[in-house]
Amino acid sequence: MSNKGKVRVVGKDGKVSFQPKELTITTEPGNVPEVTGLNVQPMHDSVIGKEVVTTEEPQSEKTIEGDILHWLNSQKDCFAFKVNTVGIWDERNNCYRKTGLFTLKGTSDILGIWKGKPLAIEVKNKLGQLTTEQHAFINKFRLMGGISFKAEALSVVKRNLEYYDKHGTIIVS
């Protein structure tokens, strides 16, 4: 029997990791439910309308960023690099110092050129949310004629750039 229901995915720290938009749960009496739409194994006898507990952690932003940069720089008409806007660690004062007067808060993690067009990608994992400054940067970059978006995975980058190549715009989520 297949049912659709509201399910929260809870990590081992007890926090809600993400809430999938669509999830299919197949149950057979006496068996562990089969969940599709997630890469998790349920640990309850019944998960419909309840929490699914998992020890699977979301992929780190650094890992996602590395995957994206490797792929972008393997493309013939692309040049991309990591932008570090955090600052320089000051051991004496035990804090990060700004790197300069023109360091812009909210600058995307990856900047580059895609087939002659400026490119900016803000990398977030499934849990990551854009800050107000990151939203503003992405919107201004796009308004000024660049390609800019948030990416939670390499597949999002590929999908957006393929769409851009065909339609001259990106998929706005």
* Each residue's pLDDT tens digit, 53-106: 544 567 899 999 999 999 999 999 999 999 987 777 888 988 877 767 777 889
Give the CA-trace dihedral at 119, 124, 129, 131, to 10 degrees: -40
- Write down the mean pLDDT value for the chain: 77
The tokens describing 104, both together, are 């812009």
DSSP at 123:
E
Give the CA-trace dihedral at 88, 123, 128, 16, to 10 degrees: -130
Note the pLDDT tens digit of each residue in 127-159.
999 999 999 999 999 999 999 999 999 999 999
Whole-angstrom Cα distance, residue 163 to residue 111? 19
Domain boundaries, given as residue ranges, for the chain: 1-56, 61-167
Q: The pTM is what? A: 0.65
Q: Per CATH, is 61-167 categorized as 1.10.579.10?
A: no
pLDDT at 136: 96
- The pair phi, psi for residue 78, each rounded to 5°, is -140, 145
